[in-house]
Structure 1
């Protein structure tokens, strides 16, 4: 520490005396190596952002987001699938000790530990050395996390039934008349809980695609089939006939021909 020489007294304090004030040097002193923030640098940023924005817009126009049929709360057979960046969590919920009676572990405990560790990372690892090779614990945990996320995401994609996934959410336009009193008074009460709100399928099969005739449908309703119970004795003969004729009249039509298309599917 300097004593006396090179110091100047200011009041009761001694501060270092500088011959030249320490000010930021002007950018003009570095020709070809720097530029003005406005407009040069900012213009480059705007042009780069515009290129990426136009690219994203072209991608959206060329490949619009896929839509599924309108959400049906009565469809208990529907299997939801998260977006790709959450597939690793979806896969974890399939393992023995993270599903069923251990659902809390897979849904709350494991993600909670991971995100808590991520939040506390600056305090848990406070070494001054920033090179990853000299921080084996932090680097090892990071590589292990990336490997787990990569593997569970890949396993979720590789073993998922994508054909069934596409079929269960497929938009189907039909000639279903939701204002028909038969639909409102009989179908809604007795059929939609299993066959879906639009009769496109739920825990039971869809009733639109098969080419049923009234006699076949009436036999199913009267006597039951598979897990479907018999309704004879529960419904009158006239009600069974009305349901049979309504279901047998269902058919798939094009979007232009559909008389009753929900707004979300247009």
Structure 2
């Protein structure tokens, strides 16, 4: 049997004779404002990303993030705070409807609904237009999410003295001074200040700063002991004026020793 003899071609009516290949249409055939993904659209994305990255790097150089000292697991008075990009969730847990017996609503319910809505936004508003007025559902949902996040972050951050917190929690260098336990003011320090500022005046991370290397005068130290400063409440020292004078003299003598 010779090749090709006896073979017949049968057409199938289910397949159109004008069937086109699976090549997608050119972008110019779609309605609305369109452009080629490569290189037009991708180049714009790269340019926006580069501008944002340079701006972010400049911000970190101009105002570096304050770092705290090493974590102290024995310090029960330390109040941890999340990073700035989670402050809006931290603030959300302060409201009655998202805290206490309703804490699951605050940590799972509301964030789950919010992020779930953003995930559904492309499916709820899938029109061909790209302008904001042509995508009302997606635009409204994004604006609500953006405004809510910014407001909650601002409300949480405005109540925190970040500089004072960083100063109080900064790493404490090891003390190179000798503590004169025979000094009259040491006994006053031991009964009034040692619990927070440490036996070597080195301070306690998250509780009280170091008293070594401070630049306060005797009058300023006495005023702080009576009236407090930053997170230190007033009336922490309740001794007599004579004991206060001895305490101030002791702290100054330790700092003078460290300058020698």
Aligning the two structures, in what range does the TM-score lie when normalised by the shorter sequence? 0.3 to 0.5
TM-score w.r.t. length of structure 2: 0.47
TM-score w.r.t. length of structure 1: 0.46
